[in-house]
Structure 1
Amino acid sequence: MEKRLEQLREEYKSVPIPKELDSIVEKALQHKPKKKRIVMWPTSAAVAAAVLFTAVVNINPDAAQAMSKIPVIGKVVQAITFVEMKEEKNQSSIDVKTPALSGLSNHELEDSINRHYMKESKELYREFMKATSKSKKGHLSIYSDYETVTDTSDLISVRRDIEKTQASSYTQSRYITIDKKNEAVLTLKSLFKDDRYIKVISQNIKEQMKKQMKEDPNKIYWVEEDDMTEPFKSIHADQNFYITDQHKLFISFDEYEVAPGYMGVTEFKIPTSVISKLLVGDRYIR
């Protein structure tokens, strides 16, 4: 097992990261999986060295245990912690756990997702190093963790949280949802017949916002016209989302995206009855 981890370290330092994740994911979905070695955390050698030696890097025991299961039949698709960066410098700190997916037969798809996670971590580390340079005073805190929010026989949804604090804090959550059986990354658009879902979901969210504010005066959403803020008008076609183990759709907004900072990351459960006629099927949402 130690030899395998060392091999992964070397692969991690030697394989270049692709410029765009989406194109690789799309390409992977158009081809049948091929048998090949699993390459996790590829990146440029220079940045890899910075991450591995400047920061404190740990291989989580759970990750090692999960990786040891990868070659056997009946693999389990799951999210594991492969790299963790921790460092304090010039009154700034970084604590970033980088997740990795393991267990997909489509190694190209798995690798592209994991490269994307590593690319995010690299960007966070670069931001930390910039804040702690000689010309900066620091006072930046970067924290990132992840959680598997849905794990069924059909689906896995992983949320990655990134929190940055410098005078004030900002938190964002990013979800990735995968059809385990078909080994496909689900997008919000892929769940619906056409783009009517954008208007329908947006209208339902506005109704929920108004209802919540009426019931709880402590809740505020930017849903009405105001001189101070831009009101929420519509979700994006690729709005952040996840699907629960009860097959329900949740739409997620980053901190400050549709509400004041104290509201944090906000989520809305979309009633299936509202979108049922727009769905391509009931495999995922019902």
Structure 2
Amino acid sequence: MNRMEDAKKKYEDIPVPEALGQRVQAAVARSKKQQRKKRITRLFYRAAGRSLTAAAAVVAVFTLMVNTNTVFADTVSEIPVVGAAARLLTFRSFTEENEDMKIAVEVPEIETIEQDTGGLADSINQEIYRLCLEYAEGAKKRAVEYREAFLATGGTKEEWAAHNIEIWVWYELKSQTADRISFVVQGTENWSSAYNEGKYYNLDLKNGKRLSLKDILGEDYKKIADDAVRSQIPEKERETGVKFWKAEEGGFEGITDETPFYINEAGEPVVVFAPYEIAPGAAGEVEFVIKG
């Protein structure tokens, strides 16, 4: 169980705003207002290359921003998947800046449109709200402790300022169909990858439940996933230039029911391993597409 999953136990005393449910118009209004605000960081924004034709540039920028920029995704949610039961919106967004750090937090929520999810949406929204606050508060504490240690060991305030400590809590929509949505809530600190956290949500909106690998791949899901991961490791080693650990050295031993995953646009589950989980940190976060 990672730190983000622990948040439910640690932050039960955080007040959760009422009426996390139907607020489509209010959420859209917030989205438009947020676009006028100056961001602390353009976290994953990339412009389309000048060599693209005008039409191709529009398509490229639209696709890129939907998948990587939550403010833009918030606005695009005004054009949901046809017949979709819900959509993902920014529920709360705030920034904080002082001499020690910069913080940008965007808390998403699932906004039901017509279909009742049997309480699933409200439950997930409350969980996400707590997780985001848990991560932000924990990251601030870590940054303060890091600053104290840095100064205590001879570092100067000017040198500390050059670290430009930034903390982000954000989300990314991975895929959506009429009855299913997959997204990740991410916490990132630019000074230490060891504390980066991701919580993945794969929801069956029609039946009001969380989707598991078993739901998608069937009874043999563990064998299917294990075989897929093992067959792709050599390719990942070539891509990253990093030799993955063997199972007996702490490497991949097999997926479990707790292995995080998301669903891509093709409807395939993609399992995710954090840095240092099955390979040296230089490999970064590693993903494996599981084809059933």
Q: Same fold (TM over 0.5)?
A: yes
For the pair 1:113 / 2:124, whether they are aligned, the reply is yes
Aligned match of 2:222 = 198
Q: Scaled by the length of structure 1, what TM-score is found?
A: 0.61
Structure 2 counterpart of 1:155, from 156, 168, 180: 180
CA change 1:201–1:107 in 2 (3 A) is: closer
> Residue 243 of structure 1 corresponds to which residue in structure 2?
263
Q: Deviations over 1:158-179 (max 9, x none)?
A: 1222212445554333221122
- Which sits farther off after the overlay, 237-246 or 111-120? 237-246
List aligned pairs for 1:54-133, cutoff 5 A.
59-61=30-32, 76-103=85-112, 105-106=116-117, 108-131=119-142
Q: Is the 8 A contact 2:85 2:205 kept in 1?
A: no
The residue aligned with 1:263 is: 283
Question: Contact 1:142–1:163 (CA<8 Å) still a contact in 2?
Answer: yes
One-letter code of the match for 2:245? W
Structure 2 CA distance for partners of 1:199 and 1:59, relative to 1, 3 Å: same
User: Structure 2, unaligned stretches of length 5 or more?
Assistant: 1-6, 11-17, 22-28, 33-70, 151-162
Query: Cα gap change, 1:183/1:204 in structure 2, threshold over 3 Å: closer, same or farther?
Result: same
Q: Is contact 1:98–1:145 with CA below 8 Å preserved after alignment?
A: yes
Flag structure 1 segments of 5+ consecutive residues without an equivalent.
Answer: 1-16, 21-37, 42-57, 273-286
Structure 1 distance, partners of 2:8, 2:275, is 29
Q: Secondary structure at the match of 1:237?
A: coil
Separation of aligned partners in 1, 2:101 and 2:88 = 28
Choose the corresponding residue for 1:209, options 211, 217, 233.
233
DSSP-derived class of the 1:234 partner: coil
Q: Which is richer in helix?
A: 2
Aligned-partner Cα distance in 2 for 1:270–1:117: 26
C-alpha separation in 2, matches of 1:218 and 1:268: 16
Seq. identity, %: 25
* Letter matched to residue 247 of structure 1: G
Deviations 1:232-279 (A, max 9, x none): 21112231112223222211112222223232221111122xxxxxxx
Do the aligned residues in 1 keep the contact of 2:84 with 2:178 (CA within 8 Å)?
no
RMSD between aligned alpha carbons? 3.7
**What SS does structure 1 have at the residue aligned with 2:221?**
helix
Aligned residues of 2:118 and 2:208 also touching (Cα < 8 A): no
Deviation of the 1:127 alpha carbon: 1.4
| CA distance in 2: counterparts of 1:266 and 1:134, whole angstroms | 29
Q: Secondary structure at the match of 1:122?
A: helix
Shift of 1:200: 3.8
Pair 1:82–1:223, CA change in 2 (3 A): same
TM superposition shift of 1:155: 1.7
- Going from structure 1 to structure 2, the CA distance change for 1:192 and 1:238 (only over 3 Å counts) comes to farther
Q: TM-score, normalised by structure 2?
A: 0.60
Q: Distance in 2 between matches of 1:85 and 1:177?
A: 26
